[in-house]
C-alpha cells in the first residue's frame, strides 16, 4: 500500500515540483490557483506533494540527512576525496557558502510551501468538518517537522505561512527562535487533536495523532519542558494498542527494507521506492551509498563511516552492535573482514546498506523507509522526562528496560538498569542518553541530543571523545551559518549567526 502511494507521489510531484519555487522566488508556492481545491482529494494531493518533497536528494535523500549524521560524534569522513563541503560540515569548518546548507535550506521552504498549500486547501473546500480538520492537521504537522529541523540547526529563521504575501518575501525578516518553537507547538497541538489514530492499510508514511504527540514530546524535550514531554510521550504509550505501536521483536527487522511497510514500531516514516526517481531528485535516497563500503561486491562510497572508537563503544555482547555495523563484506565473492577492506579499514554503518532492497549497485535509489520517529524513542523520551521530574522511578527505569529487553535478542546483554545507573537523577540521565546513543545510532538523532544537552565540548574535545574535533567551539557551532546566497538576496535576514 505505501509503495503504491509512493508511485502516485512520483506522478504528482512532476507537477508539484514545477509549482513550488525556491525561497528567493516564492517560498509560499502555488500548487494551483485557488480554484484548484474543490475536494478532499485535491487537498490530499497537496499533502502527498509535501511528503514527496521531503524525499528529495536536497533534503532527506542526502543533503540534510548527511549533514545531521556527520555533525554527530558517531560518523566521520571515510573517503578523503569526497566533496569538501562534507568535510567542512564534519570538522566544524563550514562557512556561509557551504553547499550542503545552501541546498537543503531552499528545499525546506519548498516543503513548507507545499504544506501551506495543503493547510489553505483544507480550509476552503466544502467537505465534512472532520475531514477538513484532519487534512489541515496533516499539512501543519509536515510544516512543524520541517521547521523543527530548521530552528534547531539555525536558530532565528524566516517563518512563512500561507498568509504571507509573495511580494513581501524579498524583505522578509527572521522570526525569533522562541517564537518559531511556539508556532511549531501550536501546529502540533492542532494536529494531535484532529489527526486519525491510524489509516487503512496500516500506513506509516502519513501522520497520525500518535505522530503528532511523539513529535510534540520531542519538541518539549528539546525545550526542557519535562512535564509536557512526559505527558505527550505517556499518551502515546497509554494508547499504543489503538495506535498499533510496539517494539518489533528483532532489532534487525527495523532496517530490512522488505519488512518496513506497516511496521508496528514506526511512528512516522519517509518511504522510498527503489530505483524510481522523480523530477529534481524526488525519491532519490543516497544514504546506502554514502554509508556503504568502497570496493566491495555491493559497492558503496565510504563517505560517512563510524570512527573506531564509536564501534568499540558498543558491547560485543549487545545484539545491536552486529545490526548497526558492517564488519565484513563480500569482495570478489570472498568474505573480507573490515581490517582488509580496500579503502576505509574500519566497520561501516550497516543500517541503510545491508538490506536496502531494490537499488542501484552502489546503494543509491533504495527501498529504505526512514523512521523519523519510532516507538523505542517514545519510551526513551518518557524515561528521560520523567527522571527530570521525579528521579529514576520504577516507571522510568521500566521504559529503558523495555528497550534493553528487545535489544538482548535472547541473550544477557544489555542488562536491566543497574543500581549504579539508577542511583540518582544525574546517573540515570546519563544512562538514558547513552541508551539513545546506542539504540538510535546513525538514525540522525545524536547531533540534536548533543546540542540540547550541551555536550559538544565533552564529546568532541574531551579525553573520551569518540570522534575528536578540535575545531568545535560551543559559542559558534551549535548553529549552522545562514546561507550566504540567501543573505545576498535579502539583507533583512542579517545578522549572520555568531562566528560565521
Closest CA to 384 of 462, 459, 439: 439
Structural domain includes residue 119: yes
Domain match, 186 and 316 both? no
Closest CA to 183 of 143, 228, 232: 143
Q: Place 4 in a pLDDT band, splitting at 50, 70 and 90.
A: very low
Give me the number of domains the chain comprises.
2
Tell me which of 333, 368, 403 is where a domain ends: 368
pLDDT digits (tens, 9 = 90+) for 364-382: 999 999 999 999 999 999 9
Query: At a CB cut-off of 8 Å and minimum separation 6, what does 132 contact?
Result: 40, 122, 123, 125
Long-range contacts of 453-459 (CB under 8 A, 24+ apart): 459/73
Residue 47: CB atoms within 10 Å = 26
CB 166 within 8 A of CB 28: yes
Q: Place 34 in a pLDDT band, splitting at 50, 70 and 90.
A: low
Domain match, 292 and 175 both? no
Structural domain includes residue 480: no
Q: Place 3 in a pLDDT band, splitting at 50, 70 and 90.
A: low
Structural domain includes residue 187: yes
Structural domain includes residue 88: yes
Residue 256 scores a pLDDT above 60: yes
Tell me which of 368, 397, 413 is where a domain ends: 368
Q: Place 277 in a pLDDT band, splitting at 50, 70 and 90.
A: confident
Closest CA to 405 of 397, 414, 396: 414
Mean pLDDT, to the nearest integer, of 112-123? 94
* pLDDT for the residue 169: 59
Tell me which of 368, 392, 420 is where a domain ends: 368
Structural domain includes residue 157: yes
Structural domain includes residue 125: yes
Interior angle at CA 76, CA 485 and CA 440, nearest 5:
100
* pLDDT for the residue 16: 40
Closest CA to 484 of 500, 472, 470: 500
Structural domain includes residue 213: no
E strand intervals along 382-464: none
pLDDT digits (tens, 9 = 90+) for 133-178: 999 999 999 999 999 999 999 999 999 987 555 445 567 899 999 9
Please provide the average confidence, as pLDDT, over all residues in the chain. Answer: 92
Residue 12 scores a pLDDT above 90: no
Residue 28 scores a pLDDT above 60: no
Residue 2 scores a pLDDT above 90: no
Domain match, 44 and 181 both? yes
Domain match, 173 and 287 both? no
End-to-end CA distance of the chain: 46
How many angstroms separate the CA atoms of 399 and 291, rounded? 31
Q: What are phi and psi of 328, to 5 degrees?
A: -155, 155
Domain match, 176 and 284 both? no
Structural domain includes residue 476: no
**What are the cell numbers at 243?**
495506535
Write out the residue range of the structural domain in which residue 325 sits. 279-368
Tell me the pTM.
Answer: 0.94
* pLDDT for the residue 44: 96
* pLDDT for the residue 27: 33
Higher pLDDT, 269 or 170: 269
pLDDT digits (tens, 9 = 90+) for 400-412: 999 999 999 999 9
Q: What is the DSSP letter of 488?
A: H
Residue 495 scores a pLDDT above 50: yes
* pLDDT for the residue 461: 97
Mean pLDDT, to the nearest integer, of 345-356? 97
Residue 176: CB atoms within 10 Å = 13
Residues in the chain: 500
Least confident of 27-36, 58-67, 360-369: 27-36
CB 152 within 8 A of CB 222: yes
Amino acid at each position: 500500500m505505501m509503495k503504491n502511494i509512493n508511485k502516485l507521489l512520483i506522478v504528482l510531484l512532476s507537477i508539484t515540483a514545477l509549482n513550488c519555487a525556491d525561497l528567493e522566488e516564492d517560498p509560499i508556492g502555488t500548487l494551483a490557483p485557488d480554484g484548484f481545491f474543490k475536494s478532499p482529494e485535491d487537498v490530499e494531493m497537496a499533502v502527498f506533494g509535501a511528503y514527496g518533497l521531503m524525499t528529495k536528494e536536497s533534503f532527506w535523500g542526502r543533503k540534510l540527512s548527511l549533514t545531521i549524521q556527520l555533525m554527530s560524534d558517531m560518523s566521520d569522513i571515510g573517503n578523503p576525496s569526497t566533496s569538501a563541503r562534507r568535510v567542512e560540515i564534519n570538522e566544524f569548518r563550514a562557512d556561509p557558502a557551504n553547499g550542503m546548507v545552501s541546498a537543503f535550506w531552499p528545499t525546506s521552504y519548498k516543503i513548507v510551501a507545499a504544506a501551506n498549500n495543503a493547510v489553505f486547501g483544507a480550509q476552503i473546500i466544502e467537505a465534512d468538518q472532520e475531514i477538513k480538520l484532519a487534512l489541515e492537521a496533516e499539512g501543519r504537522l509536515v510544516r512543524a517537522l520541517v521547521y523543527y529541523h530548521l530552528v534547531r540547526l539555525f536558530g532565528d529563521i524566516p517563518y512563512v505561512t500561507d498568509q504571507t504575501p509573495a511580494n513581501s518575501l524579498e524583505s522578509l525578516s527572521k522570526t525569533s527562535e522562541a517564537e518559531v518553537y511556539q508556532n511549531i507547538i501550536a501546529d502540533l497541538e492542532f494536529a494531535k487533536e484532529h489527526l486519525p489514530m491510524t489509516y487503512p492499510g496500516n500506513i506509516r508514511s502519513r501522520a497520525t495523532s500518535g505522530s503528532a504527540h511523539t513529535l510534540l514530546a520531542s519538541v518539549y524535550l528539546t525545550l526542557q519542558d519535562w512535564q509536557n514531554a512526559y505527558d505527550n510521550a505517556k499518551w502515546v504509550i497509554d494508547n499504543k494498542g489503538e495506535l498499533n505501536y510496539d517494539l518489533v521483536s528483532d532489532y534487525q527487522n527495523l532496517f530490512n527494507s522488505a519488512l518496513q511497510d506497516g511496521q508496528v514500531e514506526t511512528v512516522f516514516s519517509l518511504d522510498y521506492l527503489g530505483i524510481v526517481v522523480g523530477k529534481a531528485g524526488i525519491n532519490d535516497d543516497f544514504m546506502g551509498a554514502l554509508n556503504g563500503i568502497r570496493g566491495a561486491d555491493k559497492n558503496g562510497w565510504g563517505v560517512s563511516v563510524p570512527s573506531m572508537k564509536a564501534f568499540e563503544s558498543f558491547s560485543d555482547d549487545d545484539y545491536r552492535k552486529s545490526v548497526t555495523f558492517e564488519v565484513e563484506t563480500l569482495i570478489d565473492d570472498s568474505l573480507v573482514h573490515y581490517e582488509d577492506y580496500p579503502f576505509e579499514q574500519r566497520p561501516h554503518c550497516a543500517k541503510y546498506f545491508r538490506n536496502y532492497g531494490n537499488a542501484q549497485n552502489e546503494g543509491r535509489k533504495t527501498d529504505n523507509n526512514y523512521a523519523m520517529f519510532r516507538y523505542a524513542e517514545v519510551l526513551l523520551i518518557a524515561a528521560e522526562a520523567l527522571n527530570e521530574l521525579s528521579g529514576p522511578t520504577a516507571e522510568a527505569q521500566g521504559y529503558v528496560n523495555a528497550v534493553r529487553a528487545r535489544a538482548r535478542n535472547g541473550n544477557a546483554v544489555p542488562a536491566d538498569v543497574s543500581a549504579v545507573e539508577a542511583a540518582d537523577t544525574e546517573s540515570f540521565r546519563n544512562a538514558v542518553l547513552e541508551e539513545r546513543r546506542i539504540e538510535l545510532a546513525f538514525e540522525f538523532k545524536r547531533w540534536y541530543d548533543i546540542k540540547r544537552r550541551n555536550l559538544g565540548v565533552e564529546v568532541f574535545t574531551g579525553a573520551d571523545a569518540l570522534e575528536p574535533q578540535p575545531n568545535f567551539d560551543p559559542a559558534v557551532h551549535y548553529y549552522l551559518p545562514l546561507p550566504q546566497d540567501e543573505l545576498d538576496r535579502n539583507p533583512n535576514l542579517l545578522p549572520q549567526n555568531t562566528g560565521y
